[in-house]
Amino acid sequence: MNRALYLLLITLLIPTLLSAREAKEYDQDVNYEENRLPEYDLPPLLVSSGGKPIKTPEEWFSIRRPEILSLYSNLIYGRIPKPAQPVDVRFEVVKEDPDFMDGKATRKDVKIILENEKGRVSMHFLVFVPNNAGKPVPAFLKHSFNNTQSNDFDASETRPGFLKNGWPLGAFFDRGYGFCAVYQQDLLRHNEVEFLKGIHKLFYPEGQSFPKAHEWGVLSACAYGASRGMDYLESDTDIDHTRIAIMGHSKMGKATLWTAAQDDRFALAISAQSGCAGAALWRRKSGETLKKMVTRFPYWLCRNAWKFVEQEDDLPIDQHMLLACIAPRPVYVHSSTDDTWADPRGEYLSAYHASEVYEFLGKKGLTSPDLPEIRKPILTSEVGFHIREGGHSIDPYDWEQFMKFADHHFKGK
Ligand code: GCU
């Protein structure tokens, strides 16, 4: 059988077989007990792979941070290959509505076109700019599960100040923030299992149709998309591209951290309940584990990540290092008590351990290894956090803390 066909069949079959097996296993042997955690040592932040202590911020930025990012690219999320031919990026503002939400904001529908001789892919990027605020405005950019071409982004007629999808954009506009959204499936189409039709094809040389073991999975492609959104924002004079907060929930919270770690044009990052492959520490194996993740979602990470299943201690990184790569830019982690699949304590600890680098760079981090009390947000240090009661969602209380965190770090309030 032809090799490409064989790979495709395997690709389609493995998840089906695994998900049939996992339907039984998915909720089994998941550890949620703090007293049953494995013992672990985290890889050091401030010692290079070659054992050299990192003594100055310059050494962090020139030696250790690039080293860590490269480990993430090759072993966890997947490296973006060099494109087959240069990819041309173009923007077209296809629609502009200055009367969005009864005149509170201007909505711009922007088509971002990515093209080379291998093909053309486009993203539908949404940009909302408050009308009654001095320009350029700081803005949030959300990695979105909602399709930016659907009516999810219309203003709700029944709840003034909200989008149909429930996001409180009116509150953002009142506080002087713009809001942008990039849709996770624009670059990957609707099938995460099959990469042939989306962005990946622009990057493959003749004969390649599938990522190599160290090449990009879904989360890396999402991060690439958000960076193209940032390219557009750099050209929009209504938006202050030096004050963009990238944010996302759950799978998109994972994409958020990876985007911000690599692309330092994002001035602040907010990861909401990002869990496994997001803020949570791999080595705790609490709630979702690497094994559960790669068997249910084989393409979110790169295939090299599979090699560490049940070998987490061999990973040269853990997720505190991903957050540390965002330093000194503010990073916020949001958890909730019942979202145990995402390991709230593991999310917090990662932020706590990343604080070592923030402090090394002269910023404020989290000072206690103990989880803060419920609804006692930490907003004024560069590493922020809150935990609330309840489950897996972004609630009004969470939105409010995200805005307060940005107010503090963007506006000094
Ligand atoms: C699943 C997955 C999580 C992910 C979540 C989501 O539960 O296991 O890792 O965060 O989906 O994206 O909502």
Share of the chain above pLDDT 70, in %: 92
70: CB partners within 8 A, 6+ apart: none
Burial tier of 217 (Cβ tally within 10 Å: 0-12, 13-18, 19+): buried
> Is position 392 annotated as part of the catalytic site?
yes
Over the Cα atoms of the chain, what is R_g?
A: 21
Q: Which residue minimizes the CA distance to atom 7 of ligand 1? A: 341
Mean pLDDT of 138-155: 98
Which sequence spans correspond to the domains of the chain?
36-82+125-411
> Is position 122 annotated as part of the catalytic site?
no
Q: Are 254 and 262 in contact (CB under 8 A)?
A: no
Q: Which residue minimizes the CA distance to atom 13 of ligand 1? A: 250
Query: Cα–Cα distance between 106 and 168 in angstroms, integer?
Result: 16
Q: Catalytic pick from 227, 250, 286, 335? A: 250
Pairing verdict, β 239-249 and 105-116 = unpaired
CATH, range 36-82+125-411: 3.40.50.1820
What is the CB < 6 Å shell around ligand 1? 250-251, 275-276, 288, 293, 341
Confidence of residue 284 (pLDDT cuts 50, 70, 90): very high
- pLDDT tens figures, 34-69: 999 999 999 999 999 999 999 999 999 999 999 999
> Does the pLDDT at position 88 exceed 80?
yes
Q: Of 185-199, 226-240, 241-255, which range is least confident?
A: 185-199
58: CB partners within 8 A, 6+ apart: none
Mean pLDDT of 7-17: 52
Inter-CA distances, 218 with 28, 245, 251, 300, 379, Å: 26, 21, 10, 4, 31
Which pLDDT belongs to residue 151? 98
Confidence of residue 23 (pLDDT cuts 50, 70, 90): very low
Distance 341 CA to ligand 1 centre (A): 8
> Does the pLDDT at position 141 exceed 70?
yes
Which pLDDT belongs to residue 188? 87
Mutate which of 250, 282, 294 for ligand 1 pocket (most atoms within 8 A of beta carbon): 250
Distance 180 CA to ligand 1 centre (A): 22
Inter-CA distances, 314 with 72, 74, 172, 343, Å: 14, 15, 43, 21
> Does the pLDDT at position 18 exceed 60?
no
Query: 């706590």: which residue's tokens?
Result: 352
> Does the pLDDT at position 19 exceed 90?
no
Distance 237 CA to ligand 1 centre (A): 36
